[in-house]
Structures are given as structure tokens and as C-alpha cells.
Structure 1
Amino acid sequence: MAQKQAAIFNDLSGFGRCSISVILPILSAMGHQGVAIPTAVLSMHTEFPNYHMTDLSDQLPAYLESYRKEGLRFDALCTGFLSNPTQAQIARSCLQLLKEDALVLIDPVLGDGGRPYPTITKEIIAQMRSLASEAGVLLPNLTELCLLCGRPYPDAFPSRDFLLSCCEELCAAGTSNVVVSGLELDGRCCSFIYADGKADEVWNEKVGDGRPGSGDVFAAVIAGSLLRHETLHQSVERAARFVETAMRQTLQEQIPHAWGLCFEGLLSELMPAAR
């Protein structure tokens, strides 16, 4: 099977294990070539108070044009945090660089814990909603699901009917499949899958608290698995299991919260020979 190439439209943080710096090594371990399209370069992610950031929005059109001139076409597009509405619009232009039947995996990074992140505006949410309509796989957490659908954040574990209604609304607008991650109940985590009009669930043990970059790890493993032609259910299972294992390793090594998931020593578990 020919090696797959995945374009990664996300920021690049030098320290803290998130975004491109997490996604690239995971895709490589899974046998794919990751192609970075950095939306911004940060010294460290924004949970650190002293981070420095250079926004690359004005550079992205020329960056993408160089790919077009080379005739490059990718097997997948993976998007993550977008710092402004312009980047969401530019992300849509990346679709022109994809092969027919390519995977479009969108992680709509908008918020958590029932609230949008401080930098997220109504305009960014609207642009992300438009971008989500292009997704082959959309990966919101519960907060992001509610923001995309304009629903109030539930006070308790969401009902199956609530999740189905939200997923059906997104798919009616163009999204193909939805995976709602990070649903917690009684010490366990649930990933709710809505694919081909049917609902499914993947459960695993909750270990520790969410960390910066854990969603990027989850998304990267799903993308890498789908590019190996695994089913969406298999891909989510693999991703959830890998994040759980990485969290155990992280806690064992007493890694500070802001430093993210200690996943590097576990990459061999994702290699094709380990399947």
C-alpha cells in the first residue's frame, strides 16, 4: 500500500506537547507522512503565561499556493485550533489540495467545560460551523458540540437523544460522521460515534484529568488509523486506548499538567507491525 500523506492545518508549539508537534510523530509512527501547514508558531502553548506567538495567517495563502504550483495532492486534511475567522476560511481552501475521496478530519477547537476558550468569538464559531460542514469526521467535545449546534450545555451526562439530535443536525448541514469525545460518567469516558446514520459508543477507564494536547493525540491516532483503512469504531477504540495508556505513563512519571501527555515512549504501539 502506498504511503499516505496528510496535511496538518494547525499551530506549532515548541514546548508543551500539542498540535503539530504531537500530530506529526504519531502519523509518522503509523506509517504516514505528515505535512505541516502551521497557522502560528508559539514558543509554548497558551496555558503557559509567558508564551510568545507569531501569527502566520498572512503567510498561509502563499504557503498553499506553493503546494498548488508543485501539483501536490494529499490523502487527508486534519485541522485543529484556528485563532481567527480568516484561518477558518483559509482552511477551506486547503480542500483544493486533496485527492478525490480524501479524509477530512476536523477537530473544532472552541472550548471545554461548558465554556468557549477566551479567544473564541461568535464569528469564529460561525466560521467553524461552516468548516464543519466539510468534515468527513468531526471530533467535538461536548462543549464544542453545543457551541456548533447553538444548544445549552447540559447540567448532567447528556442523553442519547440529545447527542443524536446534535449529530443529526450537523450531518444535515454536510458533516459525514461525528465523534463526540470526553463524555465522563462514573469514572469512565465515552466517545459517542455517529456514522452512516447510526449511533455507537466506545467506553474506557478515565485516568487523570484532561491535559493540553490530549485531544490532538486522540485526533492524530484516529486519522492515522482511518488512513490504514480501519473502521471508525476501530480507530476510536485505538485512539481512546492510546490516550488512556499515555495518561497512565504521564502520571507515573509525574509530568506537570501543562507539559501534556508523555506519549513518546509508546509510539511503537502504533507502528504497523504492532497492529
Structure 2
Amino acid sequence: MPIALTIAGSDSGGGAGVEADLKTFATLGVYGVVAITSVTAQNTYEIRAIHDIPPDIVRKQIEAVVDDMGVDAAKTGMLSNSEIIKVVTDVVKRYSFPLVVDPVLRAKSGVELLRPTAIDDLRKYLIPLATVVTPNINEAERLTSIDIRGVDDMKEAAKYLVDVLGAKAAVIKGGHLGGDYAIDVIYYDGVFKEVKTPKISGCTHGTGCVFSAAITAELAKGEGVIRAIIKAKEFVTKAIEWGVKLGKGYCPVNPIAWLEIPAQKYKVLEDLRKAIELLESNSDLVLNYVPEVQMNLVMALPKKYAKDLKDVAGVLGRIVRYGDRIKAVGPPTFGASRHLAKAVLKLMEYHPEVRAAVNIRYSEEVIEVAKRLGYKVSFYDRREEPEEVKRVEGATIPWGIEVALRRINYEAPDIIYHLGDWGKEPMINVFGRDALDAVSKLLRMLKELKK
């Protein structure tokens, strides 16, 4: 297994530093080891204290892991002072592993994380050993004394870091520039390359740490410099987009999203497959309740990852009558539902644990049985829909769910129904924590009806 080393400070808030680096390493499939340079008492909005680790202990940490396990690539983050920079330089020279230098100078809160007197030593000793150096615009300006106002200035700074200071490659991160795009400028082997992505809203604490750690992980796996940077850009963009909304200040990025979203999608699809099998195996109960517009069964990703319809999976082509039974036309697929998916997304705004739903035709008998079984039932009347809502494409269902929730004081419903309108079929939606839960509620009601 590839091994990646982070030589950096510890963030007690867990959003940056070695904590963010180790999350990134694990997510990208490399084994992470550490040499802690400083311990910080910090959270999302301030750094309260910094305790530097003695340089000899920093040296011994690096030697301990390299002598035993070896290191395929390493990165530096917060180095704090000249003595630590010189120790790290000495060890890197001795072991000659690929090195990513993230020149951490200042925290988002404004606290200096590298003593100003040590910046010259960073330039003189460590940057010449860098396989890649990864400053943001402010850091690049302080390292190169170049005033950066646009992409051409970024290119000049990147070239300076390589041709004058001696790094093999430089990537200047352009997230702080104005405009709709985050443009990073790479300079490597005498060639410039721009990596451009739309700017996104999200969390930013730990962005630089995660980006440099992702480059390190890719280098440890044997990836080339340019490809490692491009992959890291994709990785950190997702980590920003799906950041963890916590704390009073800059919320932390979420490197785990890279793994967790695919894992959660797999779980949703598996749950839907099992629920579809359960429905189909009870065709005799369900067949007479299939609406004219057919049935669907949907399940959303967890709330933190469910933003729109593409984050809700449903049956492609719906569930239809097929002779004397019901059958799913296609497989469960993300983005396959509109109407039922909108209902689930709206309900999740108030009850994020309720992530699934199945629909059947309206039946007064089903509603009565649901109430008898103790299910929470509510409804909305499409005839009461305001004109301003009708004029907005796709607004009816979210409006209806809101009305239905209001009727039951925003408690979590098991069933929401409506009696239709001109050209609109009356419908019952059965909700559950997952697809199996929603189908189990439906079957329980239909079995009760059959008694």
C-alpha cells in the first residue's frame, strides 16, 4: 500500500492540518503517517494557542516512520519557524522522497503560522526540494514579491518559484481572484497549464491542506505531476461543495465526500432493489392500487448530500401493471423520478430522516386503514393552489407537501394524499425512512384491508 507522510501542524478543530491530511490520504487509498510540527488550539473562527514541537522531535518522527515503513511521497504544511524548516530540509535531503510544499503562512483567521523571519528560510532551503509547491495568491505574492492581479501575474509567480527558487513544479491557486471561475496556474517542465473550474459555494476551512494532501497521495501512488494536480483539483472541489456545515466561522471541507457519496448511492440502490422485489412478490395485494399514471418508488441520499432531483433514485420507467402482477420497467436509477422525488426532497427539509416514498392511487379505504393502524396522515387540496404557485413549473408538489405538513404541526407524516384536480389523478404517497420502510408500511395497510 502506498505510504504518504504529512509534516504539519495539528488542528484541534479537525478541519485542517494533519487531521485533514489523514482524511484525504485514507480517502484516496494511501496509508497516512505523520510528523507533527505544532499543536494548535483552534476552531472554525480562531486560533487560541500554538505550541511548537521541538525540532529534534519533528526529526525523530520523520525518521521513525521512514526507517520502518518507507515513504512514497510527503507534504509539508505548517512549519512555524526556521529551526523546524532546517530540520525538515535535512531529513528530506537524506531520504529523497517526492515532496509537496504547501507554504502555509497565515490562517484564515489572520494568525501567522510561519514566523515572518522564517519565510526567507522557506525560500532558501525547502522550496528548492519541492516536487510541487502549492501557494495561494497571497502566499505566492509573499514568496515572490510579485503583485498578482490576474492570470498573467500568476504565471510570472509560478515561473519564479520554479526557475528562481528551484521547485520542480508550481501551482498557484486562483480561488481568491475575482470572477466566476477558480483558475489554477501550473508551471512544470517549462510549460504553463491552466486548470479552470466554476466557483462553488461551500466550506473552505482546510482547502489548501486537502489540495496539497491529495497531490501527495496521487504522487505516492505513482501518478505524474500534472495528473496528480488535476485529480487533486477535482477532489478538493468536491470537498468544498459538500463541506461540513458546523462551527461559527469558516466551516471545514469534507474530503470523505469523495468516498461517502458513491457508497451512499450504492446503499440507496441496493435498498430500492430489495424494496422492488418485495413489491413485486406481493403483486396480488398491490395490483389494484396502481394509478393510471403508474407507480414509482424513490429514495434520496442522506440530507447532507441531497440537493436536487439527481440525488434521488427511482424506478426508471416506473412500476406498471404487467398482466396479473406488477413489474418495475427498469432498474433503480438516480434522477429517474420528478414528482415523487420532489415530495421527498421537500419533506426532508423538515424531517431529513424520511428519505423514501411510494405512491398508489387514492382509496378512501386505505386512508381509513392507515388511521386505524396509527399512521400519521395528512393531505392537501390542489384546488386551493395559489395562482402564483401554478405559474411556476414544478412548484405544485413542494407547495402541497408544505400545506400537508402545516395541517399536522410539521410532525413527520406516514401518508400524504390529495384528491386531484382537473386532469390530475388523486394520489396517496406513503413515506418511510428508506424504501423498504415505505413499502412495508404500504403492504401492512393492504394486508389489513384484505382481512
SS at match of 1:35: strand
Which residue in the other structure is 1:124 paired with? Answer: 118
Structure 1 residue 44 corresponds to structure 2 residue 37: no
Q: Structure 1: how far apart are the matches of 2:45 and 2:85?
A: 22
Deviation at 1:197, TM superposition (A): 0.6
Partner AA of 2:141 in structure 1: C
Q: Structure 1: how far apart are the matches of 2:188 and 2:127?
A: 15
Deviation at 1:117, TM superposition (A): 5.2
Q: Are the aligned partners of 1:72 and 1:97 in contact in 2 as well (CA < 8 Å)?
A: no
Structure 1 residue 179 corresponds to structure 2 residue 177: no
Task: Map 1:150-229 to 2 at 5 A.
Answer: 150-151=145-146, 153-154=147-148, 156-159=149-152, 162-172=153-163, 173-183=165-175, 184-208=177-201, 211-229=204-222
Total equivalences in the alignment: 258
Which residue in the other structure is 2:85 paired with? Answer: 88
Which residue in the other structure is 1:32 paired with? Answer: 30
Structure 1 residue 57 corresponds to structure 2 residue 54: yes
Larger radius of gyration: 2
Which residue in the other structure is 1:21 paired with? Answer: 19
Normalising by structure 2, report the TM-score: 0.51
Distance 1:112 1:10, change over 3 A: closer
Partner AA of 1:124 in structure 2: A
Q: Are the aligned partners of 2:79 and 2:114 in contact in 1 as well (CA < 8 Å)?
A: no
Partner AA of 1:35 in structure 2: V
Q: Are the aligned partners of 1:78 and 1:105 in contact in 2 as well (CA < 8 Å)?
A: yes
Q: Are the aligned partners of 1:132 and 1:175 in contact in 2 as well (CA < 8 Å)?
A: yes
Distance 1:103 1:269, change over 3 A: farther
Cα deviation 1:228-261 (Å, max 9, x = unaligned): 333333322322222222222227x576543411
Contiguous gaps of at least 5 residues in structure 2: 264-451
Deviation at 1:87, TM superposition (A): 1.4
What percentage of residue pairs aligned between the two structures are identical? 21
Cα deviation 1:146-187 (Å, max 9, x = unaligned): 211122x33x3242xx33332332223321000111343421
Structure 1 residue 109 corresponds to structure 2 residue 101: no
Contiguous gaps of at least 5 residues in structure 1: none
Distance 1:242 1:257, change over 3 A: farther
Partner AA of 1:22 in structure 2: A
Which residue in the other structure is 1:267 paired with? Answer: 259
More strand by share: 1
Deviation at 1:73, TM superposition (A): 3.3
